[in-house]
A and B are shown apart, each in its own frame.
Chain A
């Protein structure tokens, strides 16, 4: 099997597993218990917090463990919005291609009377700090912009946006789910006030994530309960998962430079190979993109059938076609960068990790052109384009 869907989830690393096992077999006490056995779990928990903080250039006091990236996004945005509302600030700036954990939370806030301004991300999937600066108003409560896009991999100028927000004293949150462990993060240098990440995107376990909030930004609880996470997230901590995530993040950050070189080389080989398919287009920025992200649209075919046939050839990939999402519209991300519906239906995302090899890339480069050619061969849409009855939308 060639696993090329690392943006969906990653295989858990040996390091993460090795870190988790003692928490399951030995120090399985409740971290809130007073006796020494419980306190051992507490030590493991706080050790994990310190590790995560170090990876983000953050103060450990700003690290809150959550059930994942979505919970962190929800809590960050609702907290900042309601904090702003107390001061009469109800304007929120974001972008059109955020993850649904962000967009749906913003939709909820819009219904509650907030004014949501979604910035255009242009064809390359990027927003500039200047555009953010122009959008900031005196009543802006929050700017929330993802670090790197999950579908097309474009990376935002986070430090520049952070500086702009700090200068105007506006809270800046970034959904760094795809970036953490893959791109350098330093919340202080980059002026990030709040950040979300998810454990399973960098070879950690699923069901665990982090919300970073700069000390001084009060959080609003999504889950009421005990005094866990300094009273901001009720529920007994999932110590094994938290410890596994911290170990995975530490490992990813320690090897970030070498992994980037390796994965980027594979990515670029894949992009160069897929470009040879006529009437195809790379989605997202050419260079300012995640090291492992390859996103293409192929004209005249539909993405789900492409995925199913690749699956038959042992290749795991993803698509933003309507048919894979269960809705009638193709991916909002591809529409946000201006791909016409028809082209967006024929999308393919391959996301690599350092576990992939050159042989994987070769296998993908053998399979994709073959499957695309087959599907085009049975597509009346493609036939109409070839005969001139319809126009090609993508250049040859």
Chain B
């Protein structure tokens, strides 16, 4: 059996929404260079809906695939809905990840949350801070 599912390899080989957004409304960057993966998500938000999304990722195959899948899952959706996108949902959408790669999907979830938080901060929108405290235990060394 191959290390990755066909879905992971498809998103890794042909990542969707790669790049950056000029004048993004929210930017989330998580992970660190020391751990070998950094994910950066750019959101364009119109009327509380993600009208556009791009990502840049430094990392392994599953990190790139998770970023790509996560951007597909939030594109065109309202903000309150994208906050419910979990790492589990990203993993399932990719037809699974090897156990030692699950943290890549966690990073994707965190990157989305960080971008939304950035948007709220920039706009001065009040939010429940507890909603955004999901440190990736594996990556904050």
A residues sitting closer than 8 Å to B (CB atoms) are 300-305, 308-309, 312, 321-324, 326-328, 330, 340-342, 345, 378-383, 390
| Pairwise interchain contact A305-B34, C-beta atoms closer than 8 A | no
| Pairwise interchain contact B34-A379, C-beta atoms closer than 8 A | no
| Pairwise interchain contact A380-B56, C-beta atoms closer than 8 A | yes
Interface size in chain B (residues, C-beta < 8 A): 29
| Pairwise interchain contact B56-A323, C-beta atoms closer than 8 A | no
**A308 to B56 alpha-carbon distance, docked (Å):** 18
| Pairwise interchain contact A328-B15, C-beta atoms closer than 8 A | no
Interface residues of B in 5-41 (CB under 8 A from A): 9, 12-13, 15, 18-20, 29, 33-40
Q: Kindly provide the distance from the CB of B89 to the nearest chain A CB, expressed in whole angstroms.
A: 22
17 contacts between A and B (CB under 8 A): A301-B58, A302-B36, A302-B59, A302-B63, A305-B61, A308-B9, A308-B61, A322-B36, A323-B62, A326-B100, A328-B138, A342-B33, A378-B15, A378-B18, A379-B38, A379-B58, A380-B39
Contacts of A326 in B (CB 8 A): 100
| Pairwise interchain contact B33-A381, C-beta atoms closer than 8 A | yes
**A340 to B33 alpha-carbon distance, docked (Å):** 10
Q: Kindly provide the distance from the CB of A147 to the nearest chain B CB, expressed in whole angstroms.
A: 30
- B64 close to A (CB within 8 Å): yes
Interface residues of B in 83-102 (CB under 8 A from A): 100-101
- B66 close to A (CB within 8 Å): no
- B105 close to A (CB within 8 Å): no
User: What is the chain A residue whose CB lies nearest that of B101?
Assistant: A323
Of B36, B57, B101, which one neighbours A380 at CB under 8 angstroms?
Answer: B57
- Best-surrounded residue of A303, A321, A322, A340 (most CB of chain B within 10 A): A322
- B60 close to A (CB within 8 Å): yes
| Pairwise interchain contact A304-B61, C-beta atoms closer than 8 A | yes
| Pairwise interchain contact A378-B57, C-beta atoms closer than 8 A | yes
Given A304-B61, A305-B12, A308-B12, are A330 and B56 neighbors across the interface (CB < 8 Å)?
Answer: no
Given A326-B100, A341-B34, are A300 and B58 neighbors across the interface (CB < 8 Å)?
Answer: yes
User: What is the chain A residue whose CB lies nearest that of B27?
Assistant: A380
**A390 to B62 alpha-carbon distance, docked (Å):** 25
Q: Kindly provide the distance from the CB of B10 to the nearest chain A CB, expressed in whole angstroms.
A: 12
**A341 to B38 alpha-carbon distance, docked (Å):** 13
Given A304-B61, A305-B64, are A383 and B37 neighbors across the interface (CB < 8 Å)?
Answer: no
Interface residues of B in 47-75 (CB under 8 A from A): 56-64
- Best-surrounded residue of B20, B34, B36, B100 (most CB of chain A within 10 A): B36
| Pairwise interchain contact B60-A305, C-beta atoms closer than 8 A | yes
B residues sitting closer than 8 Å to A (CB atoms) are 9, 12-13, 15, 18-20, 29, 33-40, 56-64, 100-101, 138, 141
Contacts of A390 in B (CB 8 A): 33
Q: Kindly provide the distance from the CB of B105 to the nearest chain A CB, expressed in whole angstroms.
A: 14
**A172 to B9 alpha-carbon distance, docked (Å):** 47
Of B37, B56, B141, which one neighbours A378 at CB under 8 angstroms?
Answer: B56
**A326 to B99 alpha-carbon distance, docked (Å):** 9
| Pairwise interchain contact B64-A378, C-beta atoms closer than 8 A | yes
Contacts of A382 in B (CB 8 A): 58
Of B15, B36, B59, which one neighbours A330 at CB under 8 angstroms?
Answer: B36
**A302 to B38 alpha-carbon distance, docked (Å):** 10
Of A323, A327, A341, which one neighbours B60 at CB under 8 angstroms?
Answer: A323
- Best-surrounded residue of B29, B57, B141 (most CB of chain A within 10 A): B57
| Pairwise interchain contact B100-A379, C-beta atoms closer than 8 A | no
| Pairwise interchain contact A312-B13, C-beta atoms closer than 8 A | yes
**A383 to B20 alpha-carbon distance, docked (Å):** 11
Contacts of A378 in B (CB 8 A): 15, 18-19, 56-57, 64
**A300 to B61 alpha-carbon distance, docked (Å):** 15
Q: Can you add 7 more A-B contacts, CB < 8 Å, to A308-B61, A379-B57, A380-B57? A: A301-B58, A304-B60, A304-B61, A308-B9, A324-B60, A345-B36, A380-B39
| Pairwise interchain contact B60-A381, C-beta atoms closer than 8 A | no
- Best-surrounded residue of A322, A340, A380 (most CB of chain B within 10 A): A380
Q: Kindly provide the distance from the CB of B44 to the nearest chain A CB, expressed in whole angstroms.
A: 17
User: What is the chain B residue whose CB lies nearest that of A385?
Assistant: B33
